[in-house]
Amino acid sequence: MAVPSRGPSGPPLRILVYSDNPRIREQVRLALGKRIHPELPELTYLDVATGPMVVRHMDAGGIDLAILDGEATPVGGMGIAKQLKDELADCPPVLVLTGRPDDAWLARWSRAEAAVPHPIDPIRLGDAVAALLRTAA
């Protein structure tokens, strides 16, 4: 069986976006849009509002990148990132949205591959996501 191509015309990449705040999830989707880079396929999004649902969807597979809000409550994205990296044998890349730039060390502790601070800067987020997706491909 042939493996589908991940080039520009391949199947869409699935991005899990976690935050308890629907405005943060919307900001992420709007910042990234449908196509982040000409070499990558279109993006589709799975919005998740609770920590247990993040774990459930990640366990099920089919996610190419997880973007987790480190400021979410009651379960923060950094704790979830650490749990996913500890428990999933083939965990996709994780990007954590931190409360401030100085919190990048916490994102590294959580084993996230990237961190972008709030407020969401579309260029900074887009560059980080494109780099993670191109590396994963």
CB atoms < 10 A from the CB of 113, how many? 21
CATH homologous superfamily of 13-136: Response regulator (3.40.50.2300)
Q: Where are the domains of the chain?
A: 13-136
Does the pLDDT at position 107 exceed 60? yes
For residue range 54-65, list pLDDT tens digits in order: 999 999 999 999
The reported pLDDT for the residue numbered 47 is: 98
Say what the pLDDT of residue 5 is: 47
On the 0-12 / 13-18 / 19+ scale of CB atoms within 10 A, 7 is exposed
The pLDDT tens digits of the residues spanning 38-48 come to: 999 999 999 99
The C-alpha atoms of residue 107 and residue 117 are separated, in whole angstroms, by: 10
Residue 23: partners with Cβ closer than 8 Å, 6 or more residues away:
none
6 pLDDT exceeds 60? no
pLDDT given for residue 3 in this prediction: 39
Is it the case that residue 118 has pLDDT exceeding 60? Answer: yes
Q: What is the pLDDT of residue 7?
A: 56
Place of tokens 């996610």: 63
